[in-house]
Amino acid sequence: MIHPTAIIDPSAQLHADVQVGAYSIIGARSEIGSGTRIRPHAVIGSDTRIGSDCEIFQFASVGEDPQDLSYRGEQTRLEMGDRCVIREGVTMSRGTEKGGGVTRIGSDGLFMAQVHVAHDCQVGNGVIFSNAASLAGHCEIGDHATLGGFSLIHQFSLIGRRAFTSMGAALNRDLPPFCLASGNYARAIGINKVGLRRAGISAEAIQALQHAFRVMVRQRQGSAGAAQLAPLMAQHPEVEEFVAFIQASKRGVLRSGRQVTGIE
């Protein structure tokens, strides 16, 4: 059902069962997949592709012009997967030519109220962005990462798979997969044990990751540490992923800090 007050560009392509609420706007050349619901007063910008069974709540703005001074109206894109929930007031910008031209959002993400995803970000599957979490441009967020409320992520930062930031964390370096970060500026405070247990990661793999965290993050042993961890890397793919992320980081990873009460 499309409300008669909705404004839809003639070049937009909507599946027959898409629902569009009152006063919503859908821009030129956009595509909306089957089962997606767009609540009243939402804005879908031009050249935006949204997958199936998504829900976009009121006053969200998805796929509008990037907030970049170099942008001059080039035709860039935003692409979103399936089953995403975009809550009230979320803003997601299209890409820029210099950043590759596309902002990508994976499937099964939950983006709570007032979240911002800037131009050229690459966001994985199954993520949770709590209220007002914000990405600057060109960030990359791994699958099943969780950003606590009011987390702030510096441009070009990487956050690994199943990492977790606490509320108000401000990250100006990369956060390895499976890690917790807290503080302003944030420090890496340990392994995301609770999240890993919930994901079915074995106790042995979690213990191996804790050892790898001590070697590579707390002690910052670099290549020597990676060599020391080779047997664990061969046994546990999670450790191999963790070490490879740190070795590939261009910005450098967060330094370690003390444990924060209430976070495991």
CB 91 within 8 A of CB 116: yes
What is the number of other CB atoms lying within 10 angstroms of the CB of residue 122?
A: 20
- Domains of the chain and any CATH numbers: 7-141 (2.160.10.10), 196-248 (no CATH)
Provide mean pLDDT across the span 196-213: 97
pLDDT at 257: 79
Kindly indicate the confidence band of residue 263, based on its pLDDT and cuts at 50, 70 and 90: very low
CB 117 within 8 A of CB 99: no
15 counts as catalytic = no
Provide mean pLDDT across the span 135-163: 98
Catalytic residue among 47, 51, 63, 119: 119
CA nearest to 123, candidates 147, 95, 103: 103
Question: Which pTM value belongs to this model?
Answer: 0.94
- pLDDT digit string (tens) for 169-182? 999 999 999 999 99
CB 160 within 8 A of CB 178: yes
119 counts as catalytic = yes
137 counts as catalytic = yes
- DSSP H helical ranges for the chain: 193-198, 203-213, 222-228, 230-235, 237-248
The 3-state DSSP class for residue 37 equals strand
Catalytic residue among 82, 120, 144, 183: 120
- DSSP H helical ranges for 126-201: 193-198
Burial (CB < 10 A; 0-12, 13-18, 19+), residue 251, is middle
pLDDT at 97: 95
Catalytic residue among 99, 137, 190, 195: 137
- pLDDT digit string (tens) for 70-122? 999 999 999 999 999 999 999 999 999 999 999 999 999 999 999 999 999 99
CA nearest to 115, candidates 92, 138, 137: 92
Tokens of 227: 């060599």
